[in-house]
Structure 1
Amino acid sequence: MEKRYQVFVSSTFTDLLSERQNVMQALLELDCIPAGMELFSASDADQWSLIKEVIDDCDYYIVIIGGRYGSTTAEGISFTEKEFDYALSSNKPILAFLHKDPDQIPSGKTEINPDAREKLLAFRRKAETDRICKYWLSPEDLGAKVSRSLIKTIKHQPAEGWIRGRFAATTELLSQVNELRETNEKLKSNLASIGETSPPGIDQYAGGADEVELHGTKEVGPDKVTEDWSITLSWDEVFALLGPTMYEECAEKTMQAHLSNIFLAKQKEDSSVEIKGLQLSDESFQTIKIQLLALGLIMIGDIHDITGSGNANWVLTSFGQGYVMKLKAIRKNEIELR
Structure 2
Amino acid sequence: MKFWNLHTELPGLVALSLIKTMKMYPAVGWVRSNLIASSEANKKIITLQNTIEELQKEINNISYKSPEGAESLSQGSDIVELKAKLSYLNSRLPYGDSEKRYSVNAKFIFTWDELFSIVGPSAIHPNREKKLKSEITKYIKDFFSDPIEEKCQDGFSLSSITLNDTQFQTIKYQFSALGFLVTTQEVRMERDSEKEFEFCELTPLGKKKLMEVRAIYKDKEAEEPDKMGLLLAIE
Same fold (TM over 0.5): yes
Within the alignment, does 1:268 sit opposite 2:154 as a pair?
no
TM-score by length of 1: 0.44
Are the equivalent residues in 2 in contact too, given 1:216–1:281 (CA < 8 A)?
yes
Within the alignment, does 1:281 sit opposite 2:164 as a pair?
yes
Within the alignment, does 1:186 sit opposite 2:54 as a pair?
yes
Q: Deviations over 1:37-95 (max 9, x none)?
A: xxxxxxxxxxxxxxxxxxxxxxxxxxxxxxxxxxxxxxxxxxxxxxxxxxxxxxxxxxx
Match of 1:201 in 2: 69
Q: Give the Å deviation of 1:331.
A: 5.0
Match of 1:318 in 2: 204
Q: Give the Å deviation of 1:265.
A: 1.9
Q: CA RMSD in A?
A: 2.7
Q: Give the Å deviation of 1:299.
A: 1.6
* Structure 2 CA distance for partners of 1:332 and 1:224, relative to 1, 3 Å: same
Q: Give the Å deviation of 1:241.
A: 0.8
Q: Distance in 2 between matches of 1:180 and 1:301?
A: 33
Q: Give the Å deviation of 1:249.
A: 1.7
> What pairs up with 1:320-335 in 2 under 5 angstroms?
320-331=206-217
Match of 1:240 in 2: 117
Q: Distance in 2 between matches of 1:227 and 1:220?
A: 8
Q: Give the Å deviation of 1:257.
A: 2.5
Letter in 1 for 2:85: T
Match of 2:17 in 1: none
> What pairs up with 1:81-92 in 2 under 5 angstroms?
none
Match of 2:195 in 1: 309
What is the SS of the residue equivalent to 1:233?
Answer: strand
Letter in 2 for 1:311: F
Letter in 2 for 1:266: F
Q: Give the Å deviation of 1:263.
A: 1.4
What is the SS of the residue equivalent to 1:214?
Answer: strand
> What pairs up with 1:40-51 in 2 under 5 angstroms?
none
Any stretches of 5+ residues in structure 2 without a counterpart?
Answer: 1-35, 91-99, 151-156, 223-235
Q: Distance in 2 between matches of 1:174 and 1:333?
A: 55
Larger RCO of the pair (alpha carbons < 8 Å, separation 6+): 2
What is the SS of the residue equivalent to 2:144?
Answer: helix
Match of 1:211 in 2: 79
Q: Deviations over 1:206-238 (max 9, x none)?
A: 111111000111023634431111110111111
Within the alignment, does 1:252 sit opposite 2:129 as a pair?
yes
Are the equivalent residues in 2 in contact too, given 1:195–1:320 (CA < 8 A)?
no
Match of 1:13 in 2: none
Q: Deviations over 1:284-317 (max 9, x none)?
A: 2122122122212212212324321112221222
Q: Give the Å deviation of 1:169.
A: 6.2
What is the SS of the residue equivalent to 1:200?
Answer: coil
Structure number, greater radius of gyration: 2
Are the equivalent residues in 2 in contact too, given 1:252–1:313 (CA < 8 A)?
yes
What is the SS of the residue equivalent to 2:76?
Answer: coil
Q: Give the Å deviation of 1:269.
A: 3.7
> What pairs up with 1:128-207 in 2 under 5 angstroms?
170=39, 175-207=43-75
More helix by share: 1
Q: Distance in 1 between matches of 2:37 and 2:185?
A: 49
What is the SS of the residue equivalent to 1:255?
Answer: helix
Are the equivalent residues in 2 in contact too, given 1:194–1:318 (CA < 8 A)?
no
Are the equivalent residues in 2 in contact too, given 1:198–1:319 (CA < 8 A)?
yes
Q: Distance in 1 between matches of 2:220 and 2:63?
A: 24
Query: What is the percentage of aligned positions where both structures have the same residue?
Result: 24
Q: Distance in 2 between matches of 1:314 and 1:291?
A: 13
Are the equivalent residues in 1 in contact too, given 2:77–2:112 (CA < 8 A)?
yes
What is the SS of the residue equivalent to 1:309?
Answer: strand
TM-score by length of 2: 0.61
Any stretches of 5+ residues in structure 1 without a counterpart?
Answer: 1-166
Q: Give the Å deviation of 1:185.
A: 3.1
